[in-house]
Amino acid sequence: MQIKILGCSGGIGGELRTTSMLIDSDILIDAGTGVGDLSLDELLKIDHIFITHSHLDHIAFIPLLLDTVMGIRAAPVTVHASAETIATLRTHIFNWKVWPDFNTIPDVTQPFLLYNEVKLGETLTFNGRNITALPANHVVSATGYQIDSGAASLVFTGDTTTCDALWQVVNNINNLKYLIIETAFSNSEIELAKLSKHLCPSLLVAELGKLKHQNIKVFITHLKPGEGESIMQEIAESHLTMPIHALNKHQIFSL
């Protein structure tokens, strides 16, 4: 199994792209602006989109993707998300005011967009690839995801702040190899981080202190544009014993 990072920034500008990752050629985890770099042939192969939460930087390119491939491919695209996130998409995006309701076209019996509610702890399997919804703590309903090939797992927290329930699950993953966790703000913005339910380096250190795994690699995502170097410097100065790296666009993980 291969996971390619299409976007991992907390904003846009220049080469920056917001959150999205591609599993092999047919599954997206989130659909931020990084999806726009895929070719038409690559877009046509997307069958499933797993959404961590409903914020725009994570869903922005779902409408454009669907509009691009509808009429070219026959099979529908399935969006997997929590019940609350699906309700937000129905009410505020695919409502004929912001964008057509692809869940009713070409008709309600055979729509081009399918919704599938994912519950915490539920695992969906696609040709030996297991995707499990994990707890997260954000200002809207949010989940992280464990991506498991059987041989190894990658955990993506999505947007989250302090979340004991997440670590209770993660610490029981025996084949964990990679952890991708957000840190959106610097320590000087800790109050904003708490208000918006994101992490800053000091909060990150406290969270990683709950992680019992020793031999894994940790990658930081969702760095705010212009603050990445200072945030990573603050993380480096915290003297965490595990390897910590900034996640990069186009980075590839093999499981």
| pLDDT tens-digit profile, the chain (255 residues) | 999 999 999 999 999 999 999 999 999 999 999 999 999 999 999 999 999 999 999 999 999 999 999 989 989 999 999 999 999 999 999 999 999 999 999 999 999 999 999 999 999 999 999 999 999 999 999 999 999 999 999 999 999 999 999 999 999 999 999 999 999 999 999 999 999 999 999 999 999 999 999 889 999 999 999 999 999 999 999 988 888 999 999 999 999
Query: Is 35 contained in some domain?
Result: yes
Domain with 10 in it:
1-81+83-117
- Domain termination residue (choose one: 91, 117, 143): 117
> Which residues, in sequence order, are bridge partners of residue 73?
70
The region that residue 252 occupies, defined by phi over 0 for left and psi between -120 and 50 for alpha, beta otherwise, is beta
**pLDDT tens-digit readout, 103-127:** 999 999 999 999 999 999 999 999 9
Beta-strand relationship, 252-254 and 2-7: antiparallel
Number of domains the chain contains: 2
Query: Is 240 contained in some domain?
Result: yes
Torsion of CA 52, 60, 21, 75, to 10 degrees: 90
Calpha distance 84→142 (Å, rounded): 9
pLDDT of residue 242: 86
In 3-state terms the chain splits into helix, strand, coil percentages (rounded to 5) of: 25, 30, 45
This prediction has a pTM of 0.96
pLDDT of residue 55: 98
Question: Do 44 and 12 fall within a single domain?
Answer: yes
